Amino acid sequence: MHYDLNERERRVLEAVVRSYIQTAEPAGSRTIAKAFPLGVSAATVRNTMSDLEERGYLSHPHTSAGRVPTDLAYRVYVDSVIWEPTISPSEEVTLRRELGGSRTAIEEILRRAAEVLGVLTQELGVAVGPTLESGILERLELVQVSGERLLLVLVLRGGAARTIFVEVPSQLPRDVVTGVSAVLNERLAGLSLREIRRTLRDRLRDTVGGASEQGLLNVFVEEAEQIFDVPVAGDVVLGSAQLLAEQPEFHSNEQMRTLLELTEQRDVLRRALTQRQAPGLSVTIGAENLDPRLSHFTIVTSTYHSGGLSGVIGVMGPTRMSYQKVIALVEYTSRLMSNLAQ
């Protein structure tokens, strides 16, 4: 995106953004001229800030002589600053310690990732579980629960699992259930759930067995759309909101109520996060978020991949966010999660 800023205006704008991120206080021209090596006088900084305000990059709180960045200013900052997306050695150790170890289900990795991201950024760690539609079936298990009910466990590559009850016409011998489970594993393992739903009838067409086996297989054929159906989006996982609530932006009752509603109801966050399935990093700032209830927040996410599954991991906080640090941590965490969940 092109911004109509010359070099001096860009440097002054970056200084105001950095100052406000660090202090949460509106920045005056004298403060900016003293704190940043801009090579111009305070008067020049004041005039430049005035020009930037007229063009929508800065705003002027009524109770202060200083200025604060607008959403547009943060967008310029994110798009224009030369980033060095590295994290500190201690942050790397913390992330590897919290997310590493033995093979763990993706849901548990997500929970840990959201928590540790929140702690490291002092924002709210957010994540959405993988969509299972393209998940690859690793194996399935059939467990007899009662005379006319089986529990089907679908274990997907990457550690995700789905369970569903399957109703059967009559009580079946254990060897029939075991035999059908073996046939289903042989014919379906390695396929996506979407492909299984679409082709199950053809894949089971030439199976041989007794009437009981064929009857149970027919249940799977006739009910494939329901049995192998999955939610289009995973669950929202949040870290602790307490860290975010302690930020100055949430000292007002109205902002705190908005934060509590978002974290308790989660539908707004679920929609916002599940729309972010494009590969790579995504940063939406303030009014760029489609839902007006998110207009005072920035959401930084990156996609992760686990087996045939994908989802998003990231951070939500006020628009006054330490973007460089947050972006680096989110990108590193998504890569780490993808590697751990293979």
Q: With 50 as the cut, is the pLDDT of residue 104 above it? A: yes
* pLDDT at res. 278: 74
Q: Determine, yes or no, domain membership for 289.
A: yes
Residue where one domain finishes, among candidates 173, 208, 227? 227
> Are 244 and 317 in the same domain?
yes
Q: Determine, yes or no, domain membership for 1.
A: no
Measured distance CA(315)–CA(335) in Å, rounded: 15
User: Highest mean pLDDT: which of 10-24, 201-215, 237-251?
Assistant: 10-24
Residue where one domain finishes, among candidates 176, 198, 227? 227
Measured distance CA(25)–CA(67) in Å, rounded: 9
By the 8 A CB rule, do 49 and 67 touch? Answer: yes
Q: Coil, strand or helix: which one is 172?
A: coil
> Are 153 and 176 in the same domain?
yes
In what side-by-side order are the strands of the sheet with 161-167?
137-146, 149-156, 161-167
> Are 221 and 244 in the same domain?
no
Q: Determine, yes or no, domain membership for 299.
A: yes
Q: Coil, strand or helix: which one is 168?
A: coil
Percent share of the chain, pLDDT over 90: 43
Mean pLDDT of 314-341: 90
Measured distance CA(232)–CA(133) in Å, rounded: 7
* CATH code for position 60: 1.10.10.10
Q: Determine, yes or no, domain membership for 173.
A: yes
User: Highest mean pLDDT: which of 270-279, 307-316, 327-336?
Assistant: 327-336
Biggest CA pair distance of the chain: 92
Tens digits of per-residue pLDDT, 146-174? 777 888 888 887 666 778 888 887 888 88
Tens digits of per-residue pLDDT, 269-286? 988 888 876 788 999 999
Tens digits of per-residue pLDDT, 213-222? 888 888 898 8
Q: Determine, yes or no, domain membership for 166.
A: yes
Interior/surface letters 57-78, b for 16+ CB within 10 angstroms, e for the rest: bbeeeeeeebbbbbbbbbbbbb
CA angle 265, 268, 272 (to 5 degrees): 145
Residue 22, domain extent: 7-80
* CATH code for position 302: 3.30.450.40
Mean pLDDT of 304-308: 71
User: Highest mean pLDDT: which of 107-111, 126-130, 324-328?
Assistant: 324-328
Mean pLDDT of the chain: 86
User: Highest mean pLDDT: which of 1-5, 99-103, 203-207, 300-304?
Assistant: 300-304
> Are 243 and 297 in the same domain?
yes
> Are 310 and 257 in the same domain?
yes
Q: With 90 as the cut, is the pLDDT of residue 103 above it? A: no
By the 8 A CB rule, do 312 and 302 touch? Answer: yes
> Are 116 and 256 in the same domain?
yes
Residue type, 128: V
* DSSP alpha helix (H) spans, the chain: 7-23, 29-35, 42-54, 71-80, 89-99, 106-121, 174-188, 193-203, 211-222, 224-227, 242-245, 253-265, 267-274, 323-340
First to last CA, the chain: 36
Least confident span in 28-32, 65-69, 335-339: 335-339
Q: Coil, strand or helix: which one is 314?
A: strand
* pLDDT at res. 279: 80
Residue where one domain finishes, among candidates 44, 61, 80? 80
> Are 71 and 17 in the same domain?
yes
DSSP state string for 254-289: HHHHHHHHHHHH-HHHHHHHHT--SSSEEEEEGGGS
Q: Determine, yes or no, domain membership for 2.
A: no
Confidence of residue 228 (pLDDT cuts 50, 70, 90): confident
Which residues sit opposite 153 in a β-bridge?
Answer: 141, 163
pTM of structure: 0.76
DSSP state string for 191-229: SBHHHHHHHHHHHTTT----HHHHHHHHHHHHTHHHHT-
**Number of domains composing the chain:** 3
Residue 105 makes CB contacts below 8 A (sequence gap 6+) with 159, 160, 161
> Are 112 and 142 in the same domain?
no
> Are 241 and 223 in the same domain?
no
* pLDDT at res. 133: 67
- In angstroms and rounded to an integer, the radius of gyration of the C-alpha atoms of the chain is 26
Confidence of residue 102 (pLDDT cuts 50, 70, 90): very low
Measured distance CA(132)–CA(135) in Å, rounded: 5
* pLDDT at res. 35: 93
Q: With 50 as the cut, is the pLDDT of residue 51 above it? A: yes
> Are 144 and 221 in the same domain?
yes
- The total of other beta-carbon atoms located within 10 Å of residue 90's CB is 9
> Are 247 and 123 in the same domain?
yes
Tens digits of per-residue pLDDT, 169-183? 788 888 888 999 999
> Are 253 and 332 in the same domain?
yes
